[in-house]
Amino acid sequence: MFEIRKATLDDLSTIRSLADIVFPHTYREILSPEQLDYMMDWMYSDESLRRQMIAEGHLYYIAYKEGEPVGYVSIQPEGEHTFHLQKIYVLPSCQGCHIGKRLFEKAIQVIKEIHPGPCQMRLNVNRNNKAVTFYERLGMKKVAQGDFPIGNGYYMNDYIMGLDI
- Residue 133 has what pLDDT? 96
pLDDT digits (tens, 9 = 90+) for 20-50: 999 999 999 999 999 999 999 999 999 999 9
Q: For a pLDDT cut of 90, what percent of the chain falls above it?
A: 98
Task: Output the 3-class SS for the chain.
Answer: CEEEEECCHHHHHHHHHHHHHHHHHHHCCCCCHHHHHHHHHHHHCHHHHHHHHHCCCCEEEEEEECCEEEEEEEEEECCCCEEEEEEEEECHHHCCCCHHHHHHHHHHHHHHHHCCCCCEEEEEEECCCCHHHHHHHCCCEEEEEEEEEEECCEEEEEEEEEEEC
Sorted by where each starts, the structural domains of the chain and their CATH numbers stand as 2-118 (3.40.630.30)
Tell whether the model's pLDDT for residue 142 goes beyond 90.
Answer: yes
Residues 118-129 have pLDDT tens digits of 999 999 999 999
